[in-house]
Amino acid sequence: MDGRDIVITGLGAISCLGSGVPEFWRGLLAGGGAPARVPDPLAHMRSPHKYLVPDGAVPAGPETAAHVPLGAGPRMGAAAAREAAADAGLEPAALDGAAVVVGVEMGNAEMHEGDRPGEPIGGTRWRPMTVTTAAVSAAVGSSGESLSVGNACAASAYALSIAADMIRAGEADVAVAGGADGGSRAALGAFHRMRAMDPVRCRPFDAGRAGTVFGDGAAMVVLESAEHAARRGAAVHAVLAAAEWSCDAHHITAPEPSGREITDTMRRALRAAGLDPGRIAALVPHGTGTPLNDVTESRALRAVFGDHCDRLPLLNLKGMIGHTGGAAGAFAVLAGVLALRHRLVPAADPPVDRDPECEVLLPEGGPAAVEGDGVMVNAYAFGGTNASLILTAGPGGGRSVQ
């Protein structure tokens, strides 16, 4: 491993599977969670359900950032970041100058939406929606660069990529990066109006899929240069071996039908990581459950990996925790790190009735073995933004998460 490599030394998460990374991994191995009705009496929609974080797992604080009351999204982001920092074994002095880069789609929207039916929550002062990154910076004690990334559902994949670039450029030794999103009635309503919500559950690659289903949560990682991690004796979970971007420039919501740009992005990521397609052992797809996305991504995977697709298990993450919006890319990286470390790809339960147009390998009846050098993560979003990241094992195969 080169000293300039970017390594992942800390992990943190809150999801519908519970609070903490061990709970997240145990929940994936058990087949994932299930959607439930949102606790919002004003969500007058055909199927107002999400993969909700259990009540006991939503942190009570921080209650505010400056004068701004914080909803569940920023609070979960702060808690996941603290877990990642503790997991990395970082001292306060190292965190003081850390960069903080967070992908956020809806931010503090639920607090704003709560104002609409009656009196404003927390008074009448102006309250920005984009407070999640500030809340995370305060939670870990960082006075370093603070950046919020809004590339829709690919936001946190971009956030990790940007944080890695900042470390390579010498702008920071350490970065806390990831994504966090909570509830939003407006987001649910918008997807219902687009007829993009599945009334049953999130069923990526399933023949009966009818759209996506959202989930709440936050996923955070600590990134460092390999040299910095070695200097302080830090254990390494995985190496972020490549991160590539592109834009379809095709349509505001629909993917470009040929998958040309997502295919090219995956190929560039493989070249940057120095890996042949056959050395990718598992893949975490974007896989939203929408008809167009799943078919387009499946065809792109076949174009890149060829017959290796028949041996390449997909970790069907959104089928287990829902579509976590701005946090989706970071959750995919977290799941990829854990799959690589434990050499297992969890299987979603119930199993997928695979669409014949989606020629991909989805584990059934239990986890599939990871047999190879790397894991690829894909994250796509409205506006045609695409990201592909590649993870490889750290020294000794990386650390175990129990």
The residues assigned a catalytic role are 153, 286, 323
Contacts of 239 (CB under 8 A, 6+ apart): 1, 5, 6, 7, 8, 226, 391, 392, 393, 394
For residue 237, being part of any structural domain is answered with: no
Does residue 156 belong to any structural domain of this protein? yes
Kindly state whether residues 79 and 207 are assigned to the same domain. Answer: yes
Quick: pLDDT tens for 151-167: 889 999 999 999 999 99
pLDDT at 398 over 60: no
Question: Residue 31 has what pLDDT?
Answer: 97
Is the pLDDT confidence value at 378 over 90?
Answer: yes
d(CA 55, CA 185): 18
Kindly state whether residue 402 falls inside one of the protein's structural domains: no
Whether pLDDT at 17 is above 80: yes
Beta-bridge partners for 224: 7, 174
Residue 293 lies in a domain: yes
Last residue of a domain, one of 194, 210, 231: 231
- Identify the pLDDT of residue 67: 81
- The C-alpha atoms of residue 317 and residue 297 are separated, in whole angstroms, by 15
Average pLDDT over residues 44-56: 89
User: CB–CB of 191/212 below 8 Å?
Assistant: yes
Range of weakest confidence among 250-264, 335-349, 377-391:
250-264
Residue 236 lies in a domain: no
Please check whether residues 219 and 311 belong to one and the same domain: no
For residue 15, what pLDDT is reported?
98
Q: CB–CB of 334/327 below 8 Å? A: no
Q: What is the DSSP string of 216-278?
A: -EEEEEEEEEHHHHHHTT---SEEEEEEEEEE--S-SSSPPTT-HHHHHHHHHHHHHHT--GG
Residue 286 and residue 226 share a domain? no
Mean of the per-residue pLDDT values of the chain: 91
pLDDT at 41: 82
Q: Are residues 94 and 196 in the same domain?
A: yes
The residue from 209, 231, 253 where one domain ends is 231
Q: Are residues 206 and 272 in the same domain?
A: no
Task: Please state the domain count of the chain.
Answer: 2
Average pLDDT of the residues in 379-396: 88
Residue 79 lies in a domain: yes
pLDDT, average across residues 128-152: 91
Q: Examine the domain organization and report whether 262 and 307 are in the same domain.
A: yes
Same domain, 325 and 213: no
Segment 171-199 shows an average pLDDT of 87
Residue 319 is part of which domain span? 243-397
Q: Is residue 75 part of a domain?
A: yes
The verdict on 211 and 106 lying in the same domain is: yes
Domain boundary, last residue among 231, 266, 289: 231
Is residue 123's pLDDT more than 60?
no
For residue 133, tell me if it sits in a domain. Answer: yes
Residues 217 and 327 placed together within one structural domain of the fold: no
Q: What proportion of the chain, given as a percentage, has pLDDT over 70? A: 93
Task: Return the minimum-mean-pLDDT range out of 134-138, 187-191, 290-294, 307-311.
Answer: 187-191
Q: Are residues 167 and 277 in the same domain?
A: no
Buried b (16+ CB within 10 A) or exposed e, 13-37: bbbbbbbbbebbbebbbebbbbbee
What pLDDT score was predicted for residue 43? 82
Query: Mean pLDDT across the stretch 157-178?
Result: 97
- The structure's pTM equals 0.94
Same domain, 100 and 249: no
Report the range of poorest mean pLDDT among 61-75, 161-175, 187-201: 187-201
- pLDDT band at residue 116 under the 50/70/90 scheme: low
Over residues 267-311, the pLDDT tens digits come to: 999 999 999 999 999 999 999 999 999 999 999 999 999 999 999
| Residue 138 falls in which region: left (phi positive, over 0), alpha (psi -120 to 50) or beta | alpha
Q: Is the pLDDT of residue 399 over 70?
A: no
Are residues 254 and 155 located together in one domain of the fold?
A: no
pLDDT higher at 138 or 248: 138
Maximal C-alpha separation, the chain: 60
- Report CA 229 to chain centroid distance, whole Å: 23
Sequence-ordered list of residues with C-beta below 8 angstroms from that of 383, at least 6 positions apart, any chain: 151, 152, 247, 252
Question: Is pLDDT above 80 for 199?
Answer: yes
| CATH number of the domain within which 279 lies | 3.40.47.10
With bands split at pLDDT 50, 70 and 90, how would you rate the model's confidence at 122?
A: low
- Residue 190 is classified by DSSP as H
Lowest-pLDDT range, 55-59, 108-112, 137-141, 341-345?
108-112
